[in-house]
Amino acid sequence: MTQMIQFMAAPLVACALLAGIHGYLGIHVVRRGVIFVDISLAQMAALGAAVGIIFNLEINSLSGNILSVLFTFAGALLLASVRPFERIVPIEAFIGVLYVAGAALVVLIMDRSAHGAEHVKDLMVGQILWVNWKDVTTEAIVYAVIGLVFYFINPRINAISEGAVKNGDSKSRVFLWDMIFYALFGVVVTVSVRVAGVLLVFTYLVAPAIIAAMFAKAFINRLIIGWAIGIGISLMGVLVSYRWDFPTGPAVVAAAGLFLVIASLWKWPEMKRLRATN
């Protein structure tokens, strides 16, 4: 048991940090109805990393990180700029195209790399089992700074997420706040992809937020439930990974799926009654 704690401590703390920041962002994503925004921005970060690999930049180097951030900012700018089209085309359509285009470009770029297949796997699934305390410290600092910024701007971001935009707010001001939200989101995603890969990052964003939405309406209640679910799937995934020698990232994703099924079955009778009364 002691050996397991020593070996899995850093990955578990990394998972808990991921659950914390993505649990908050996930609530906004679900309320905005842009479910796949995280995986799209994560794919843009992966695209930046892929371009860096072609230019012989180390994935965790300063230059590599800056390149990923720039690609993620480009994706954030695009997503913020398409809001005027949402009455004609759902924003999810733009998000989907951004994701598949980014994924296709990663495959094309990595096809020119000697270890392309392995790099693609690392970018998608991640290597969270091998995360070290230096990585965890960097993750914690970035998330703490971004979390503090979100703490101060949350009322405005929350108003836009709920559609409660004031009549005096100009389109340019809404665009500015959207850009700030997606830009900060992009920084978080860039760091998260380096630590955990695209799939695990998406899981921490969506699964806890969906489950929280099933059981609570108030923002703070959803946040607490989302954090609890995030910690729960982290513990289950890491323990299963260690006990049966499974890859940690996919194990956590599978645990999230299990939690979502259990929550859906729990709420199903209530949802059925509500549907019948309506």
Q: For 103-114, what is each residue's pLDDT tens digit?
A: 888 888 877 666
The band of 209, judged by pLDDT with boundaries at 50, 70 and 90, is very high
44/64 Cα distance (integer angstroms): 13
% of the chain at pLDDT higher than 70? 85
What pLDDT, on a 0 to 100 scale, did the predictor assign at position 164? 53
74/249 Cα distance (integer angstroms): 27
What pLDDT, on a 0 to 100 scale, did the predictor assign at position 128? 77
- Burial (CB < 10 A; 0-12, 13-18, 19+), residue 59, is middle
Range of the domain at 262: 2-277
3-state helix, strand, coil in the chain (%, to 5): 85, 0, 15
Total domain count, the chain? 1
For 251-275, letters b (16+ CB in 10 Å) and e give bbbbbbeebbeebeeeeeeeeeeee
Q: Structure tokens of 35?
A: 């479910």
- The dihedral region occupied by 237, where left means phi > 0, alpha psi between -120 and 50, and beta the remainder, is alpha
Whether the predicted pLDDT of 70 surpasses 90:
no
Rg from Cα positions in the chain: 19
Residue 258: closest CA among 240, 233, 234: 233
225/212 Cα distance (integer angstroms): 5
What pLDDT, on a 0 to 100 scale, did the predictor assign at position 260? 92
Q: For 150-193, what is each residue's pLDDT tens digit?
A: 988 888 888 777 765 554 555 667 778 878 888 888 888 878 87
What pLDDT, on a 0 to 100 scale, did the predictor assign at position 225? 94
E strand or H helix at 222, and its extent?
helix 219-244
Whether the predicted pLDDT of 35 surpasses 80:
no
Whether the predicted pLDDT of 195 surpasses 60:
yes
53-57 contact pairs (CB < 8 A, 24+): 53/109, 53/110, 53/113, 53/119, 54/109, 54/112, 54/113
CATH number for 90:
1.10.3470.10
What pLDDT, on a 0 to 100 scale, did the predictor assign at position 99? 83
- At residue 33, the 3 state secondary structure works out as coil
The band of 149, judged by pLDDT with boundaries at 50, 70 and 90, is very high
